[in-house]
Amino acid sequence: MAESPPPSERSRMRQFFRIALRFWRGPTRWRAWWLTAAVLLFIAAQIASAVGINRWNRWFFDALEQRDVGAVWAVTGWLPFLLVASALSMSALVVSRMLLQARWRESLTRGLAGWWIADQRYYRLGFLTKELTAPEYRIAEDVRLAIEPLVELAIGLITAFVTAATFAAILWQVAGSAEVTLGGTTIVIPSYMAFAAILYAAIASFAAYVAGRPLVGLVAHKNEMEARFRAEMTRLRENAESVALIRGDADERSTVIENYGSVVAAWLAITRRQGVIALVLNSNSALFPVVPLLLIAPKFLAGSVTLGAVVQVVAAFSAVQAALIWFVDNVVRLAEWFASVTRVDELMEELEALDIGTIMEKDTQIEMGESEDGAVHIENLSLAHSNGRVVVADATVEIQNGAKVLIAGESGSGKSTLIRALAGLWPWGSGRILLPRDQSVAFVPQKPYLPRGTLHSILLYPDSGREVEEKVIREALERCGLGYLARRLNEEEEDWDKILSGGERQRVAFARLLIQKPDIIIMDEATSALDEGSQEALLSLFEDELAEATLISVGHRPGLEEFHDQKITLERRPAGAQMTSRPIGRSLWRLFRSRKPAGPDETNPDQAAS
């Protein structure tokens, strides 16, 4: 499929706001509109206070010019009220703004995080795109950087527009017109101060736009480099033991330093561009206070305006100027904001692609369905990588209810890919997989996931809130050789993924099976970290407590066949692995062997953590 052109800045904004503005349309709309109304109300109050202070300046300086002591004290008496009104309106605006930011961010984060986590999109996203880095960072940080500055910028823009209109009217009224004589002809320029403020702001804004526009791409690139740098160090932390064992310190240090070099290079590019922007901003700051004084000075010297009017005009000109050069003051923040919007929008695009199937054609998807007879059906199944290379070709097999099936084959033949397809996680290929209706399915990977929490909640995961008698949990621990952990069931939350060894984590996965009693159990090298004796003791669960469950397991270790009655072998072929199935006969030794609980093994290093 031909690659679509990269979206423009306008389409980026449109896509972002299509999702973000649901805050005002969805279940949160009443809260959103109340907060918006509060913000607008306090903006109006703040501007009214500013107009009041502007008028107070004129009255005060007129009284000073006339040396009217009574008038000075009378005007001064109004100052505390104006200051209190200004302080209250500004404080209320800050509070309402922060509430709007928090609630809008909450709405977008909930929606985006829920979208990312639902239907294993967090897993499938890694297969469909390699360019999209750190989606969790985009949700946690870029959403914040897209929402919080946006609210502030929107408030600033509204304030700037209303302020410019209000104080331009004051300039129009107070400064009056200017008369310029050229060649004996007198030209009257009505409301020249208002027009001068608009013209000056337009020139300054255009200069800032030209200087700041390249900053958008530079900030986006910097954020990408920062994300890669963090991801590289996270990868090192997550694989710390493996790296330390093989003495990979030097290579990892080189990689980290190289990634940080990219961060530095990106920052230097931003620094150079901000130097240009600073030149424009500082030049404007130097001229800003001088221009209105130069423009009003001739009228004051001619006696056309009072000192109070001069002060009022200069303050109004400054207010109009500050409002109209809003873009100049916020060019850097706008660039940073748009860079974050771009990263959030990229994540939205990929999530949408997962849902509407734009990354792959419809006829290259595996159909998942329900079977009516209680059996697992694999029909004409072909599995392929995302690049189209076929891994398993035209596989058809039926797994009866309660069967114990072992999937074997050499490395790279597609065993784990088949497990992912059964879990509905592998979309590439064709054919059908039918799982029994209304039967619970449990997947046991090679490295079981243990979330942070109490051991009690971990053993019930992913349904940590269900009610299970503690006696049942303790018996499951004992049966799986983890009885020594029973006393720690309800201790405070721990990072059990780091506390327990690999073998102990696999035993926890089997304990979960005993507690949850699923109808179908699919395992991928689920006993790889155990010695043969412990493996045998745990697999005996499928002849006793879990005898009714359908078992589909991947493995190649000795002794596995004894616990299965059907073997599916994947044989690698140039056109894709072929699947063959045969029954496994039980040996008399196995049939008459007495069972024993999977208790601690003195020679098992997994007990070291106890």
Of the listed ranges 1-15, 402-416, 578-592, the least confidently predicted one is 1-15
pLDDT of residue 571: 84
Cβ proximity of 281 and 328 under 8 Å: yes
Instruction: Quickly count: other Cβ atoms within 10 Å of residue 120's Cβ.
Output: 13
- Cα(110)–Cα(140) distance, rounded to whole angstroms? 10
- What is the Cα–Cα distance from 315 to 312, expressed in whole angstroms? 5
334 or 486, greater pLDDT: 486
Name every residue whose Cβ is closer than 8 Å to that of residue 215 and which is 6 or more positions away in sequence: 270, 273, 274, 277, 331, 332, 335
pLDDT bucket at 100, cuts 50 / 70 / 90: very high
C-alpha pair distances (Å), 512 with each of 356, 413, 450, 497: 35, 29, 11, 15
Q: Does the pLDDT value for residue 431 go beyond 50?
A: yes
The DSSP code sequence of 423-489 is TT---BEEEEEEEETT--EEEE-SS----SB-HHHHHHTT-TTS---HHHHHHHHHHTT-GGGGGGT
At 339, the pLDDT band (50, 70, 90 cuts) reads confident
Cβ burial, residue 240 (10 Å; 0-12/13-18/19+): exposed
pLDDT single digits (tens) 262-302: 889 888 888 888 788 778 777 766 776 677 777 777 777 76
What does residue 539 show for φ and ψ, rounded to 5 degrees? -70, -20
**Mean pLDDT of the residues in the chain:** 78
In the chain, the amino acid numbered 112 is: L
484 close to 474: Cβ distance less than 8 angstroms: no
Please state, in angstroms and rounded to a whole number, the distance separating the CA atoms of residues 355 and 361.
12
In order of start, what are the domains of the chain with their CATH numbers? 9-227+263-356 (1.20.1560.10), 364-609 (3.40.50.300)
**For residue 171, what pLDDT is reported?**
67
**Cα–Cα distance measured from residue 268 to residue 222, given in angstroms and rounded to the nearest whole number:** 10
CB 500 within 8 A of CB 608: no
Cut 0.85: pTM above it: no
The whole-number average pLDDT for the span 206-216 is 76
User: Which residue has better confidence, 522 or 2?
Assistant: 522
**Mapping DSSP to helix (H, G, I), strand (E, B) and coil, where does residue 515 land?**
helix
Conformation bin of residue 412: beta by default, left when phi > 0, alpha when psi is -120 to 50? left
Check pLDDT > 70 for residue 359: no
Segment 495-517 shows an average pLDDT of 88
pLDDT reported for residue 588: 46
- Distance from C-alpha of 533 to C-alpha of 224, rounded to nearest angstrom: 49
